[in-house]
Every structure is written in C-alpha cells, then in structure tokens.
Chains A and B, each alone.
Chain A
C-alpha cells in the first residue's frame, strides 16, 4: 500500500463519485454549519425548486455575524439598531423552522460563533468533512477534519444533496519544530507562517500542520492556527488527531458515547499521514526563533515582530497600504498609540484566550481613552468565564464585557472602529475597512491586545510592569 496523506485519506473516504478529466468529484459532506449571512439566498433556491433539506440531521444553524453584542438589543429589550441585520436574523429563524434545521437562536445556551460552537458541542470530529458558507471553516481542521469554506450557491448544493462538486486540492506540509519561547503564542506562530507563505502561498492547497510544536499545542491553540489557514489562501488546514484531540472531545454532547466512543477513537487513530507520504510542497519553521507578532498593513501577511522595523521596500500598493494605515516604513510598532482593543472572534475568542487575557489584566486598568471590547466566542464560553469571575476582572479594569458574536471582527453588527482609529484586534483580518469604514486594524495575540489596552500604545506583554 502506498503511503497516503491525512488529506488523501479523508478525501477518499468521502468520494461518492471519483473525479474524471471532465467532471469533478462528488464529495460527501458529514456536517454542514450555517449562519444568517450566507444562507438566505440558498434557502430561496430550495424554495424556487421545490427542494427540501436532504439531511437535517447533518445541518446546524447559528446566528453570529449580524447579531448585536449589546445585551439589550440582543435579547429584544430594545430594537436591534440595524434594521437589515434584524431582518436577516428573523429570516434565518423562518428558514430553519420551515426546513426543519436545528437552530441555536438567541437565548439558546449553545449559540455562538459558528466555528466556536461546532467544536464545543463535539460536532466537529476527526475524519469528518465539514463545510460552512464561511472561509474560516478551516478552524475545524484542528481536529483532523477536512473543513473548508464555500459560497452560497454551494450552501444550496449541500442543503439539497449533502454533497459538493470538488476538484482535489494540492497538499502543503507546514512543519514546525522547536519550543515556542515564553510569551509567544499560537497566534504569533500562525502570523509568522502566513508571513512566510504569503497571502496567496496556500492557494489551491490543503495545509497539514505537522511537527513537535504543533503536537504540543492545546486544541484551542490548534484552532487558532487552523483558523487562519485561509489567510495564506489555503482551502483548509489540518492537524492529525491525537490524545489532545480525544481528551478535548470526550464527553461533549455530540461526541460518540460509550462503546461508540471507543470504536471512534480506534478509527481516529488511523487518521495520520503515513510515514513516507509525499506532499506537493513542504515548508519548515523553527518555532524557537519566533517572537510576538503584529500586523502593520492591510493584509495578514504584512506583519512584523513587535520590535522589528516595518520594511522599507515595496511597490506602490505596499506604500498605499502604509498610507492607509498611517504608518511609516522603518518605524517599529511598539509605542504606536491605539484607541480600540478587541478581544474575541473565531480566532481568539475561546475560554483559554479570555483566561490568558484576564490573568494579564488582573489588577491593572485599561488606559484612559482606550475602548477595550471583550466578546466571548459563544454563550457557553461567556457562562464559563463568568462562573470563574473573569468578567469582573475585565469590568473592574474598565473593559466592556459583551454578549457572544462576531462583533468587531467585521463591521456588520453595530460594533465598529471609527475612521482612522487604530484597533489592536485578536481577529484574523486587517483588510481596509474590515472593522468599519476607514478602520485601521493591527492583528495580534490576546496577550499583546491586553498589553495595548493597558499601555494605550502597542506594547510587549512580556514587559508589562
């Protein structure tokens, strides 16, 4: 038997019809996650054609992108300020009721960002194919699932047939060896990987993250890494499941139970790239040389270490990006004044992120003039954090503790950064206007976010006094 990659194994197990020169493969989808933004037109298509949702048992819906994080608006004590957002949310409720899709609506204890709740429920499992009308579906690859983002037409395809037409992607191994220095996080690692690959370096590929550094990461950290695979252009990011994965999933509501659990784990253990399997491309990273990273430009590949000068060379587009950001080539990011700090998103809105931030913030105050927004990735995370009293640490420091949702990661739910303002954000995209028209995003880890909130300028969390 020839040595096979993990990606290849999952792909083959889901081929309903193999690809030919003339036709793409028909690929079976085990789990379809949906949300309010990219599904309405897909349900319209079902209606127009008189189709039903073929496998409601493989479909989950949540509302996260356009929901407000302000409790009064979210729970209907006052109207949702953005009328179109309110309409989209009620449309999802209608669609799910009509088609029999399970929905985690406002008030459900399971509601949250789509890529946070899948793993939390144990619905995200090794070896599965998982899709969602959302590019950060790559997050679920942390469990050794083949998970990727699709468009709305394809959401319709999966609703109607539980399948997608796909050409097989290439494979790219990102090998990371060595120990991350103290104070250097998974977010810093993935920013360094994207910088090395470039924002289109992963185009057409499925990444498998490998090596001792990856094996040592917790599930939350692995999700942070896989989440940003798309920022290097990759279709998906994968990490082979291991004891860390099984320990995370065990006992979760949608994970197999009893003897089914033992059988599942036995099968999951086979989900590794075989010794000697070849990848279309490989890169190597030495984790021990990494430092806390921050972006300075308008795509996630434009990043530097906190004390590293912004590169001077670049084309006209590069200099336009710097002008948009109001930054100068040659300067370092340390000391750059910031007005907003955002802790949250499907990249860094999990309990461990909030715990790490709270540990740093304890006994400190948010700098005057800085708005520090803390948004848990899900309702469950919010409850757990509150049970540990973490919300009080944020509130006492002067931060704003909100309801779960995508919030300031993208400007469509009322949480925005003002034109020209700088926001240190733990999210994943620093595109022009991503956080609001004219907003200037500096992507970084939760630790760097807290340091900035306390100092009022970009600062190194390792030197917080």
Chain B
C-alpha cells in the first residue's frame, strides 16, 4: 500500500444522510471476484438511468467532480452491508478521504484498510463543508487535522494503529502475521 500523509483536493458533496453501502455499491456488482474496476459502479443507481446513461444532475456526472479526492457526505455514511466493495469502489473512482459527522463502524474499518481516510468532524464544520461544495481543503493525516481555505484547522480522531499503517504504507496483515508466536501460545493455553 502507498503511504498517505495528506490529501489536498477539492470536495464533492453528497449531503444525503445514511448513505448505505447498497447505494455506494449495489448488490448486483458484488459477483466480481477481484477488487479492481469497481469505480465505474460507484453510486450506480444514483449515477445512471435505466438505460445506463449518466444522469446529468448527479454530482459525479458533473465536470467539477473530476479529479476530486475528498467526499463530504451526510451523517452516518456507510451503514448497512459489510461489503468492502464500497470502499474499493470509492478508492477506484479516485476518492482518498470521506468526511461526515458519523461514519458506520464496518465501513470505517474497511476504508482504513484500503487507503481511504475516514474523517469524522463536528456539526459546525460539517455544515460549512456541505454549504461550500468544491472548496479545496487538506486532510492532514500526519497532524490529524483538516485545513479549511480560511486557515482554520479542525482536528479529527483516527485510530492510532490504523493511522500508523496509512502513514507508513504498512498493511495490517503483515503485523498480524508477526503475532503468530503469541497466537500459538494462546492456542496452547486455552486448548484451542
């Protein structure tokens, strides 16, 4: 995995609350057996009409969304299904951070493991971001702060080990594998 220190980008705003992972990646695209190429299906039912044509009013079909790496979403994004296809799709599309006031547990976990930084902010900052789509902001993972255009810095919480892994491009699988002696000792102790 590539190390991530900070992400500077314009934002895309999708203000709906409770954007579930079925919206991020509808079930019919889950029959894939690889992780790649899911970006084209991201938000498929909001993005394309029944004939598969882009719906012009949807933000991801508008020119200003091109190249944006930060998604600002309504409260409680990522609820519902545990499908990792949702963060895979967001990452493949080009997103590197998701900002909201609440981010659902499994989706947040899955995001952290795929180079997508989940950023939980307070209501006021969120309201400002929703009201100012397309602004250029910085998600500074190193400093754990969000930098707004007026120079304001808003700190955000992030699990320390996941942050370490993102900053260093370390993946958690390697760390867990290094724990095998402890795992073997546990198994011997409890008779597992």
Is B69 engaged at the interface, CB distance under 8 Å to the other chain? no
For residue B31, which residues in chain A have a CB less than 8 angstroms away from its CB? 37, 66, 82, 84-85, 87-88, 412
* Contact segment of A17-25, A105-113, A257-265, A392-400: A17-25
Q: Which residue of A lies closest to B111 (CB)?
A: A151
Residues 94-136 of chain B: 1 if any A CB is under 8 Å from the residue's CB, otherwise 0?
A: 0000000010111001100110000000000000000000000
**In the bound complex, how far is the Cα of B26 from the Cα of A230, in angstroms?**
18
Is B6 engaged at the interface, CB distance under 8 Å to the other chain? no
Is A40 engaged at the interface, CB distance under 8 Å to the other chain? yes
**In the bound complex, how far is the Cα of B30 from the Cα of A235, in angstroms?**
22
Q: Given the known inter-chain contacts A17-B182, A66-B31, A200-B76, please indicate yes or no for A432 contacting B105, CB distance below 8 A.
A: no
B76 with A199: CB separation less than 8 A: yes
For residue A73, which residues in chain B have a CB less than 8 angstroms away from its CB? none
- Which single member of B15, B79, B84, B114 contacts A299 (CB below 8 Å)? B79
A411 with B16: CB separation less than 8 A: no
A432 with B45: CB separation less than 8 A: yes
Highest count of chain A CB atoms <10 Å: which of B34, B80, B190: B80
- Which single member of A24, A49, A437 contacts B173 (CB below 8 Å)? A49
For chain B residues 10-32, which have a beta carbon within 8 Å of chain A? 15-18, 20, 22-23, 26-28, 30-32
A422 to chain B minimum Cβ distance, whole angstroms, is 18
A149 with B183: CB separation less than 8 A: no
Is B143 engaged at the interface, CB distance under 8 Å to the other chain? no
- Which single member of B82, B83, B105 contacts A233 (CB below 8 Å)? B105
B33 with A149: CB separation less than 8 A: no
Is B159 engaged at the interface, CB distance under 8 Å to the other chain? yes
**In the bound complex, how far is the Cα of B187 from the Cα of A35, in angstroms?**
25
Is A38 engaged at the interface, CB distance under 8 Å to the other chain? yes
Is A150 engaged at the interface, CB distance under 8 Å to the other chain? yes
Residues 308-330 of chain A: 1 if any B CB is under 8 Å from the residue's CB, otherwise 0?
A: 00000001010010000000000
Is A141 engaged at the interface, CB distance under 8 Å to the other chain? no
Is A288 engaged at the interface, CB distance under 8 Å to the other chain? no
Q: Given the known inter-chain contacts A41-B34, A87-B31, A433-B26, please indicate yes or no for A199 contacting B18, CB distance below 8 A.
A: yes
B173 with A412: CB separation less than 8 A: no
- Which single member of B23, B33, B79, B176 contacts A163 (CB below 8 Å)? B176
B32 with A167: CB separation less than 8 A: no
Residues 191-226 of chain A: 1 if any B CB is under 8 Å from the residue's CB, otherwise 0?
A: 000000001100110000000000000000000000
For residue B110, which residues in chain A have a CB less than 8 angstroms away from its CB? 151-153
For residue A153, which residues in chain B have a CB less than 8 angstroms away from its CB? 84, 110, 113-114, 172-173
Residues 28-69 of chain A: 1 if any B CB is under 8 Å from the residue's CB, otherwise 0?
A: 101000000110110011000101000000000000011000
For residue B105, which residues in chain A have a CB less than 8 angstroms away from its CB? 203-204, 233, 235
A167 with B173: CB separation less than 8 A: no
A24 with B179: CB separation less than 8 A: no
For residue B33, which residues in chain A have a CB less than 8 angstroms away from its CB? 40-41, 44, 87-88, 91
Q: Given the known inter-chain contacts A91-B33, A150-B106, A433-B26, please indicate yes or no for A26 contacting B177, CB distance below 8 A.
A: no
**In the bound complex, how far is the Cα of B15 from the Cα of A24, in angstroms?**
32
Is A429 engaged at the interface, CB distance under 8 Å to the other chain? yes
B112 to chain A minimum Cβ distance, whole angstroms, is 9
B184 to chain A minimum Cβ distance, whole angstroms, is 10
B106 with A151: CB separation less than 8 A: yes
For residue A254, which residues in chain B have a CB less than 8 angstroms away from its CB? none
Is A410 engaged at the interface, CB distance under 8 Å to the other chain? yes
Is A139 engaged at the interface, CB distance under 8 Å to the other chain? no
Is B41 engaged at the interface, CB distance under 8 Å to the other chain? no
User: How many residues from B make CB contacts under 8 Å with A?
Assistant: 53
For residue A432, which residues in chain B have a CB less than 8 angstroms away from its CB? 22-23, 45
Q: Given the known inter-chain contacts A37-B30, A135-B82, A299-B20, please indicate yes or no for A157 contacting B106, CB distance below 8 A.
A: no
- Which single member of A85, A135, A233, A411 contacts B81 (CB below 8 Å)? A135
**In the bound complex, how far is the Cα of B22 from the Cα of A449, in angstroms?**
24
B35 with A41: CB separation less than 8 A: yes
Q: Which residue of B lies closest to A42 (CB)?
A: B84
A160 with B176: CB separation less than 8 A: yes
For residue A299, which residues in chain B have a CB less than 8 angstroms away from its CB? 18, 20, 79
**In the bound complex, how far is the Cα of B183 from the Cα of A134, in angstroms?**
24
**In the bound complex, how far is the Cα of B33 from the Cα of A88, in angstroms?**
7
B159 with A24: CB separation less than 8 A: yes
A411 with B18: CB separation less than 8 A: no
For residue A433, which residues in chain B have a CB less than 8 angstroms away from its CB? 22-23, 26, 45
**In the bound complex, how far is the Cα of B36 from the Cα of A40, in angstroms?**
13
Q: Which residues of A contact B (CB under 8 A)?
A: 13, 16-17, 21-24, 26, 28, 30, 37-38, 40-41, 44-45, 49, 51, 65-66, 82, 84-85, 87-88, 91, 133-135, 149-154, 156-157, 160-165, 167, 199-200, 203-204, 230, 233, 235, 299, 315, 317, 320, 410-412, 419, 429, 431-434, 437-438
A165-B176, A419-B50, A437-B26 provided; 17 other pairs, C-beta below 8 A? A26-B182, A135-B80, A149-B106, A153-B84, A153-B110, A154-B113, A161-B180, A164-B176, A199-B76, A200-B18, A203-B76, A230-B80, A410-B22, A412-B27, A412-B31, A433-B26, A433-B45
For the complex of A and B, list the 7 residue pairs with the smallest distance between their C-beta atoms, beginning with the closest: A84-B31, A151-B110, A40-B33, A151-B84, A412-B27, A149-B82, A200-B76
